[in-house]
Structure 1
Amino acid sequence: MTTATLRPVAKPSLWQRLPVVHQLRQSVGVQRGMLVAGLVLMAIFILTAVFAPLLAPFRFNQLRDASGTFGSQQPPSAAHPLGTTVGGYDVLSRVIWGAQTAILVIVVAVLLSIFIGVLLGLVSGYFGGWPDRVLVVVCDAIYAFPSLLLAIVMSIVISGGKSDLAGGILAAAISITVVYIPQYFRVIRAETVRIKAEAYVESAKVLGASSPRIMFRHVLRNATRTLPLIVTLNSSEAILTLAGLGFIGFGIEPSSAAEWGYDLNKSISDVTSGIWWTALFPGVAIVLAVLGITLVGESLNDLADPRLRGRRAVAKASGEVAETSVVPGGTLDGGPGGIRGLEDGESFDEHGIEVRS
């Protein structure tokens, strides 16, 4: 019987192992197009937020320049490419500065949610007992509430509904954090309960490792594999929650920061009067930002699930066995038969023709 030659494949570089770069190399076809489109939209969103002071022609609360006041509800022109709002603000400047506000809220909310949710989930899942049961009941109760309603309540409690830039961002971020903590808690707790029964965790206990060392060195690093996916999906939800708070009047004051939801609220009466530019551009900004983050999140979800990403198709395109294959010496070249040739015990000659014993 002729056997296939299995050759070790060179280990990917550090750059190729980066989370987004690794998924980009794995993706194929329409899936890759979705991921690239999402990354492009996210890059535009982030760069706009970072360079807002350079890109925006005016400040977010500026009402006049050297030539005088801007005027209310002015149509798009050379001086104001996207027109002005009912309050006399430049629409383009408000849209650009609104990206910065959204980024700040997302960063603060996601960091707080990850820190609190992961810590509670890790402790609850590892130690169990009555604290675990109490935390599960509390998180399930919070998770049962409508997210926007809970954010409204928290916003009122924290800041009375409106605040300055720092206070408003913190209030909005904490409001969103309370909504997202149960999601991180449930995911990390479930992974911790599963991982703590693994042989390597039992071995660490036998060797005398302390509980904190086992939790943070062995359990945590294996329980957080799905966090990038949750972060991307929660980021898009955070933008919608922030816009919802601003739209119903519980957001940040316009003199303190630009916020897309607030601008949409003030443009309701404009739409009925045929003034379209005050509502169109903030709405488009929300849609594109959420779309970009959602495309990245859904693509990561597909690539993380072997049933969805089509492992065989990816393997045939790359000619490599997936790195999850447990083979001494590392990943192997599957040859012309790809993974199917290895899984079914088939062999192929140099021309890709099947050789049977």
Structure 2
Amino acid sequence: MATATSASSTPSSPAAPAPARRKRGLPVVRQLRQSVGLQRGMLVAGLVLAAVFLLTAALADVLAPYDFNQLRDADGPFGAQQRPSSEHLLGTTVGGYDVLSRVIYGTRTALLVIVVAVVLSLFAGVLIGLVSGYFGGWVDRVLVVVCDAVYAFPSLLLAIVVAIVLSGGQSSLWGGIMAASISITVIFIPQYFRVIRAETVRIKSEAYVESAKVIGASHWRIMTRHVLRNATRTLPLILTLNASEAILTLAGLGFLGFGIEPTAAAEWGFDLNRALSDVTSGIWWTSVFPGLAIVLVVLGLTLVGESLNDLADPRLRSRRAAESGQTGEVSVVPGGPLGAGPAGLAGIEEVR
């Protein structure tokens, strides 16, 4: 009894303030604290490039010296294929557009396509993956065959076919964005379907799901309250990597001539297509800067996705921490440790 009394009277260490705890719990902050060495450098570099991309897209109207389809100013026409100068820092295109302005406005087009494509594919893929994995039977077999057939089809060719069916290959700003987004959505749905279906098949046999069935919970409640939130923990990784793939698909469509009209919006792939003849003539600025924008944005998003993927692997994370001589909490899930299940079944929280 004395031992218990002395233990209870021992002062506990002061808890961290609530705002500080919340700050450390944020996904990006948590990953930065967990990363070490080269992994941290990759994550920081990717976050910087991604932040520059987002800020450029948000502030395109402020940063761009001209409009994306502007051909003249108060002094007259810009002129085609003008070299970089004080008036046009990155020169002009073969059509007479300012290269810098089109590169800046191209970030906005790319961001809109990423958001629409990822949101559509996320909702569709998660929904059919949840239904397929939970109910099984002939519904599961049909959906698996359909998604495998779509996944096996060449992605860019499938995007071209869908773009032609939807818009005839070229259209206005929102028409082109929706055509490109739906094309990319069709490609991404099987990826989300596979991940969610596999997790749902595993989770539906857990004890807390069986307990929910015993007490009479409906299928919809079990799917949304117990299965869905535990089956979507790896989606942030796929979202980040799919964002970079969406940019490449959009650029591929534009390069092949199935993108957005230059008078409707700026699109990097279309500008590269128009710059093909310039390369053999020694006019390098019309192709270098749109291509560099694609490379940097894809590189930034890929670095973020690969870093999150490494941090989600406890074996790889623990090995890298040991090599760097650091110890500490290692979250299995990018968004943080797994919480307790609905029936009190605690998840795997950390690996030391």
TM-score range, shorter chain: 0.7 to 0.9
Q: Secondary structure at the match of 1:14?
A: helix
Instruction: Tell me the equivalent position of 2:195.
Output: 187
Q: 230, 237, 262: which is aligned to 2:238?
A: 230
Deviations 1:52-76 (A, max 9, x none): 0110001100000111000000000
Q: What is the root-mean-square deviation of aligned Cα atoms in Å?
A: 2.5
Q: State how far apart, in whole Å, the 2-side matches of 1:321 and 1:288 are.
A: 29
Equivalent pairs, count: 327
Spell out the pairing of 1:2-81 with structure 2 (5 A cutoff). 13-81=21-89
Q: Corresponding residue for 1:131?
A: 139
Partner of 2:225: 217
Q: Deviations over 1:256-309 (max 9, x none)?
A: 000000000110110100000000000000000000000000000000011221
* The 10-residue stretch of structure 1 (203-212 or 244-253) with the greater mean CA deviation from structure 2: 203-212
Does 2:171 correspond to 1:163?
A: yes
Structure 2 runs not aligned, ≥5 long: 1-6, 332-336, 341-345
Trace 1:94-133 onto structure 2 (pairs within 5 A): 94-133=102-141
- Using the size of structure 2 for normalisation, the TM-score is 0.88
Partner-residue secondary structure (3-state), 1:244: helix
CA shift in 2, pair 1:318/1:310, >3 Å: closer
- SS of corresponding position for 1:286: helix
User: 1:306 maps to what in 2?
Assistant: 314
Query: Which has the higher mean CA deviation after the structures are superposed, 17-26 or 231-240?
Result: 17-26
Return the offset for 1:325: 11
Deviations 1:73-119 (A, max 9, x none): 00000000000000000000000000000000000000000000000
Indicate which of 263, 286, 289 corresponds to 1:278.
286
Q: Distance in 1 between matches of 2:235 and 2:229?
A: 11
Letter in 2 for 1:317: Q
Which residue of structure 2 aligns with residue 296 of structure 1?
Answer: 304
**Which of structure 1's runs of 4+ aligned residues deviate more than 3 A?**
7-12, 318-326
Relative to structure 1, the CA distance from residue 316 to residue 205 in structure 2 (aligned partners, 3 Å threshold; closer, same or farther) is farther
3-state SS of 1:317 partner: coil
Change beyond 3 A, Cα 1:325–1:84: closer
Deviates most, 104-113 or 304-313: 304-313
Select the residue among 144, 148, 157 that pairs with 1:140. 148
Q: Counterparts of 1:284 and 1:243 in 2: how far apart (Å)? A: 12
| Aligned residue identity for 1:124 | S
Question: CA contact under 8 A between 2:129 and 2:193: conserved in structure 1?
Answer: yes
Q: What SS class does the counterpart of residue 173 from structure 1 fall into?
A: helix
Deviation, structure 1 residue 320: 4.8
Q: Secondary structure of the equivalent of 1:275? A: coil
Structure 2 residue matching 1:15: 3-state secondary structure: helix
Matched, 1:267 2:280: no
Unpaired segments ≥5 residues, structure 1 = 340-357
TM-superposed deviation, 1:317: 2.6
Quick one: which amino acid aligns to residue 76 of structure 1?
Answer: P
Q: State TM-score, norm by structure 1.
A: 0.87
Partner of 1:206: 214
Q: Percent identity?
A: 74
The equivalent residue for 2:334 is none
